[in-house]
Structure 1
Amino acid sequence: MAILWLADVLRQAGVAVVEEGNWQARGVSGAFAPIGVLWHHTAARSSAANPAPALGICINGRADLPGPLCHALVDYHGTFHLISANRANHAGAARASGPIPAGDGNTMLIGWEIDYAGDQPTGADQAMTSAQYSACVAATAAVLRKLGRDASYARGHRETSTTGKIDPSFVDLNAMRADVGRNTTSNVAVYRGSNSTFYIRKLDGSGLLAQIPFGASGDLPAVGRYENSPYDNLAVYRPSDASFYIRPANGGTTIRIPFGNPGDLPAPGHYENSPYDNLAVYRPSDASFYIRPANGGTTIRIPFGQRGDIPAIGRYENTPYDNLAIYRPSDASFYIRPANGGTTIRIPFGASGDLPAPGYYEGLPYTNIAVYRPTTNTFHIRRANNTTQAVVFGDGSLGDRPAPGRFQ
């Protein structure tokens, strides 16, 4: 397996990337089937004037170890220099750590070499910069999403080394993993129809993250990832003129894209091999999804569900794309269409009057089933261990509808 997608995935996560030569062909012989990410430091002293002193060694190797020595080097400013899309000599033999089993680390792990001195015996110590830390967290989260793994599959070399490696120094690896998990987690949020405003809750539950007016009376939330940003865009669907209205990440001029028919319900999702979500609607009158291809070509129609159903799109199985899914208020159940088009999966959850609110609430590679109960202003989230978490937020009496997304 070659990770030829690495540049695209990192850029989509907002990470600065430099492609070093023919990095997609560079590698060493042997198996490469990555399941996680391994963090290192180079032990070279970087600076603003010399941000990537170990770049040449990471590409070409040392006398005792041929290059490439990692898949990317992270320079002083947090820029990722891509070195290899194939097997690299960075991990050696690995001992078991978290979900990573003992074995050949070079087969199992994608490696970032973070260019800083670390713990030096001469006393010339250096920790990673905040730019390096932030970039590594964002990049690791994006790659783990691509691999279908959660934050526990990110490890430090000192956790897997069988020879006493100490890298990466001066960082709490558990805290760094927690930051990776937060980077992949949905915020609880609502769209208030009475004043056309998004209300977004902080991930740690400590209070309101943002209150952003957007849209108009009668709009429905249509949050999605529509541009090159690590976060979701605020967006609404206006049934009266069958159009999506998307707020750019920089808060600039609203983008309007007509799609669907009056009365349709928004159903955006990641349906094809594109870095962004597709615009899509669910048409209650004929119980069908209508999906707009990324190239703007012929609309795809897929019948699913029945009249009265509400779209509940999410990534519910091990596939790179979202599943078509609906929530049926009449029997309080999610109905999920498998990626192979096989037998529909029914999962009872919620109660009469609930609204579907699926999201990545645990930082896992799959979407949690969830509902919003307007009568009690509560999100009910079905966790991976089959327990239910209740989160009070919003005000159903003011017309709040669930609008979860990755906003923080």
Structure 2
Amino acid sequence: MTHMLDAYADIVGADVIRHLRQLAEPLQGKTVVHVNSTRRGGGVAEILEKMVPLTRDLGINAHWEVITGDSEFFQCTKSLHNALQGDRLTIPETLLDHYQDVNVQNAQQLRPILEEADFVFIHDPQPAALLKYCGKRKGKWIWRSHIDASRPHRAAWRFLEQFVRGYDASIFSLPQFAQTLPHPEYIVSPSIDPLSEKNIDLPLAELESVRVRFGIDPELPLIAQISRFDRFKDPLGVIEAYKLARRFIPRLQLVLAGGGAADDPEAEAVLTEVYAAADDDPNIKILVLPPDAHRTINALQRLADIVIQKSTKEGFGLTVTEAMWKGKPVIGGDTGGIRLQVINFQTGFLVNTPEGAALRIRYLFNQPKKAREMGITVKNFVRENFLITRQVREHLTLMFALQYGSADRIELG
């Protein structure tokens, strides 16, 4: 074991770290494998990037594997993702067959480690079919859904259900996201790493450097949405809200910053629509950032007066947590996991329309004392609920539950 976890003691307390090590004792030497579809870009990759080494730090043999696929595969999984979030899409049978073929190919590559692992966490729909092609599995398999599947298009859910029914357990981010399945279902909300480059404190000189690089005027109030260019993130709605708010705050400026993910083929089309909606407004900064621009994202969130995450569908919304950790009030879409984080008039505001977002922008700029009070509240709220140490604890507890089944008593030592 290393001592990575000890660095978190000043943030969450030494007792939390001692508790994690106590929970991990009976799992020493177990092999845990996480599988997803991209190593860079998106919240799942960000979580795994830190959860896997922290799990290793606890004496557990943790691995992270990434499946491969071609453009047709990711076209299928993006459509499947959108349909699970409620879009009424008809996915051609040829694409669905290709989805299974790609999972067969990946199973052939990953079978040696997956079949021998004590616990396998399969993230989201892309690799969900792997279980079907790993018939000699030794350990427990858990399907982890990070998306808002509360009202899925039924045909899409029926297709996916045939693969996830056979898992030993499922994890969802919110109770309302869960679907009826013949195995235990757990609720685990995502988290952020307070010691990552995206969340650590930054020197003022670095903030100023980012401000200058992107032409952000220090004299003008700034709102920002930091998110992938995805229709469910509603960047066009953010631009509309900005234009409405400018009627009352004429010198307002907006930053829309983000990029795509390797498994998202729609990002370029959405970005084209965003440029068209911005219509060359000099006070709208559209920033296409690489997946590893963590310190830049950190700086932009810290420079913003208000952070927006106006999603129309959202599994959780790590960018909300990130902004709150930096003491920013958040205006978020009234959907999915954002509702767990944004509490009206306490940690920010929930909105459904551009008009609602514009109204709250105006309110926060006209009530600076209330905005400052929210900033103090939101950081403490994240500390108590949405840091990586809490998610590691819940994963350890889940593995305990699956390993010991219906045992009446579990000795932790």
> Aligning the two structures, in what range does the TM-score lie when normalised by the shorter sequence?
0.3 to 0.5
Q: Hey, which of these two has a bigger chunk of helix by percent?
A: 2
Q: Hey, which of these two has a bigger chunk of strand by percent?
A: 1
Higher relative contact order (CA 8 A, sep 6+): 2
